[in-house]
Amino acid sequence: MTTKIKTGIIGATGMVGQRFITLLENHPWFEVTYLAASESSAGKKYSDAVKNRWHMQGDIPSYAKDLVVEDAGKFDQAIGKCSLVFTAVSMSKEDVKLLETGYASRGFAVVSANSAFRLTADVPALIPEINFEHINIIPVQQKNNGWQKGFIAVKPNCSVQSYMIPLHALRLKGYNFKRLIITTLQGLSGAGYPGPSAFDLIDNIVPLISGEEEKSEVEPQKIFGEIKDGRIVHDTSFEISAHCTRVPVIDGHTACVSVEFEGKKPTEAEILECWKNYSSVPQELKLPSAPEKAIIYREEPDRPQPRKDRDQGNGMSVSVGRLRPCNVFDYRFVGLSHNTIRGAAGGAVLMAELLAAKGFIKG
């Protein structure tokens, strides 16, 4: 990348927006030149807009402090200031759709951390290691909407990241699964700030995250799907039953997974070999945010643990452990990923790097 791509962050003052701010500091391909948020933050320097509500470790990166925050709803203000925008906003699904199509229709590459378009048939929902070929739906999306340059690509649900790559590694070797039961234990930062009250979470687990189980049961079928007749067709050869819970952990989504295979069934040794030798397109392309190892298997009997393992691979690796036989299905294991890095901003940055490497985003 000889010239950095000018980049905007829409929703820059929120929890995920702040994570984008930190991850894009000194990024070799992307230069943040535009910030936007709600009307109440518009016109302020970024440091003033997040005063007393900066939630990342360390100080605000110096490059962002004096950038003036614009009104996210005024799309034309971004024209000429950036060509790529990351979106992470707290709005209704319909308002998110209006926002993101507003930018895409004006020629921006929109890489979204929001859920509004995740199940839209011509919008890729990318985990770059798994369904990188879904970027080929973008010209169809542009034709369907009459867009010359702009497009929308979205990041899947944060909780599915902790087990989708380990499952993909098995599928690559011909081990197809039929049914999965998954229980997630999801960190507080996934709810944004301020999230659930301390009174709700201390000495407690909340066994409901509204809409999360439905996303966890359907989005994997799209991710493992394929492009047919100008749309992404879901892979319905497997079923997921999901239980999604909120636990008193700041960062890190853990998943307890039971798998039933269909047809050829691997041994434990074969599963471990799949995981330990796994590599995919982001590693082959040496994308800046790609971890050297997308899957890290922990041999310790009590790992992975959020506090000890969520930052592996700069927060982009999936930590896996406790592989063992299942008394009901075939095998069970525990997966863990950092929900605001791999599961949100970091996963979106990796998506944008893939899109840039493949020529869909240009400076």
**What pairing do the DSSP bridges indicate for beta strands 5-10 and 30-37?**
parallel
Write down the catalytic residue from 158, 168, 244, 338.
158
Per the CB < 8 A criterion, the answer to whether 233 and 226 are in contact is yes
Write down the catalytic residue from 168, 253, 274, 338.
253
pLDDT digits (tens, 9 = 90+) for 209-250: 999 999 999 999 999 999 999 999 999 999 999 999 999 999
- Rounded to whole angstroms, the Cα distance separating 357 from 1 reads 8
- The yes-or-no answer on residue 256 being catalytic is no
CATH 3.30.360.10 in the chain, residue ranges: 159-338
pLDDT digits (tens, 9 = 90+) for 122-180: 999 999 999 999 999 999 999 999 999 999 999 999 999 999 999 999 999 999 999 99
3-state secondary structure of 158: helix
CATH 3.40.50.720 in the chain, residue ranges: 5-157+344-357
- The yes-or-no answer on residue 27 being catalytic is no
Our CA dihedral for 34, 27, 138, 223, rounded to 10 degrees, sits at -120
> Which tokens is 298 given?
């922990």
3-state secondary structure of 169: helix
Q: Is the pTM of this model over 0.85?
A: yes
Domain 159-338 grouped into CATH 3.30.360.10: yes
CATH tag, 5-157+344-357: 3.40.50.720
pLDDT digits (tens, 9 = 90+) for 23-79: 999 999 999 999 999 999 999 999 999 999 999 999 999 999 999 999 999 999 999
HEC string of 119-130 equals CCCCCCECCCCC
- Rounded to whole angstroms, the Cα distance separating 363 from 356 reads 9
* Runs of H (alpha helix) within the chain: 15-23, 46-49, 62-65, 93-104, 138-145, 161-172, 198-201, 212-223, 268-276, 281-284, 306-309, 346-357
